[in-house]
Amino acid sequence: MDALSDVLRTMRLKGGVFLRGHFTAPWCLSVDVSPQTYAPFFGETADVIPYHFVVEGHLQVGTPDGVRLDLGPGDSVLFTRNDQHLLGSDVNRRAEPAGRFSRSGPGGLLYIDLDGPGDLTRIVCGFLAAERVAGNPVLSALPPVLYLRAGDNEAAAWMQSTFQYAAEQIGAGRPGSATTMSKISELLFVEAVQRYVDTLPEGATGWLAGMRDPYVSRALALMHGNLRRAWTVEDLGREVGLSRSALGARFGEVMGMPPMQYLANWRIHAAAHELLANARSVAQVAEDVGYESEASLTRAFKRVMGAPPATWRRQRLQADSPG
């Protein structure tokens, strides 16, 4: 398994509650997805990523720090930090809170209808929840706003047609349509991440930049693919075709830390994921992620997470219970 797939797997992405918007200009809404909105569905320990997909018409998007985007049919935007933002026919207008206008429709789907004299815009809004555990490298490496333009490539065109179909099913109140949209939302996020990696400039640093470096990406794939192995920098260098010192220098330059520090961090992250994802014992999890004993995992886990593995799992499962 490549490193990006492994990290995405541990994020445990889940699609959120969706909103159908039907607007005619002029209009401007302020969107703030608060914990009170998503906690009943995801618990309190999720990183939430709101997104908006334009089914018809045109949409302006704005953020407090000055980002301005113009979206057309098939375009979508994701907010990886769940920052407050503006949506509208003109985001320079006075904004009204979106919650003021939302109503519950068939099957619990929220909707907003704002009627004006101008052009029609139809959008589908929702949010993804990603499991919040120690040091998720993808979320920390992404920019606050991801913009996917419909015509950029063949994958975008496929995403556009699929999303539009699911949006029509939701708008018609078809049973199971929200579940379909939830799965498509996960694909939307993966496509957004892959697209962002493809656009990184030469010389970029950080975890996602490591995906484009042939030596660093191979070293990451080896570590993620076999956490049980007692890796050394010399072992990794031999596998990727670099000397120990050359790999250490290259990995540190791109990733911002030595290979063994990264491996130690990821083992804690992987252990946290396994503790939440299944009922395996702490000793079994320790073996799975490359620790020699339950005691060695417990010491490292408590140092990073603030509690022993069993205690941390119990507290998190209680906090994750929706409602």
Residues in the chain, pLDDT under 70:
1, 16-17, 35-45, 106-108, 134-135, 152-156, 167, 170-171, 173, 178, 320-323
151, 175, 199 — which closes off a domain? 199
pLDDT of res. 20: 85
pLDDT of res. 34: 74
Check if the beta carbon of residue 297 is closer than 8 Å to that of residue 282.
yes
Classify strands 14-15 and 120-131 as parallel, antiparallel or unpaired. Answer: antiparallel
Question: Do 75 and 110 share a domain, yes or no?
Answer: yes
Give pLDDT tens digits for 191-201: 899 989 999 99
Question: Do 56 and 136 share a domain, yes or no?
Answer: yes
241: domain CATH number? 1.10.10.60
pLDDT of res. 99: 85
Residues forming a β-bridge with 46: 131
Question: Do 306 and 188 share a domain, yes or no?
Answer: no
Question: Do 288 and 153 share a domain, yes or no?
Answer: no
Check if the beta carbon of residue 298 is closer than 8 Å to that of residue 292.
no
Question: Do 190 and 262 share a domain, yes or no?
Answer: no
Domains in the chain: how many in total?
Answer: 2
CA distance to 68, 78, 102, 159, 251, per residue, from 191 (Å): 22, 11, 29, 9, 26
Please state, in angstroms and rounded to a whole number, the distance separating the CA atoms of residues 148 and 70. Answer: 11
Question: Do 220 and 263 share a domain, yes or no?
Answer: yes
pLDDT of res. 274: 93
Give pLDDT tens digits for 253-270: 999 999 999 999 999 999
Domain of residue 235: give its range.
Answer: 208-320
What angle do the packed helices 177-199 and 154-171 form, to 10 degrees?
160
Question: Do 213 and 189 share a domain, yes or no?
Answer: no
Short-list 222, 216, 225, 224, CA closest to 251: 216
Question: Do 226 and 132 share a domain, yes or no?
Answer: no
Question: Do 182 and 266 share a domain, yes or no?
Answer: no
Total-model pTM? 0.86
Please state, in angstroms and rounded to a whole number, the distance separating the CA atoms of residues 219 and 240. Answer: 7
pLDDT of res. 296: 97
92: domain CATH number? 2.60.120
Question: Do 159 and 52 share a domain, yes or no?
Answer: yes
Question: Do 35 and 180 share a domain, yes or no?
Answer: yes
180, 199, 218 — which closes off a domain? 199
**Phi and psi torsions of 203, nearest 5°:** 85, 0
167, 199, 231 — which closes off a domain? 199
How is residue 285 annotated by DSSP? H
Short-list 93, 109, 112, CA closest to 101: 112
pLDDT of res. 1: 64
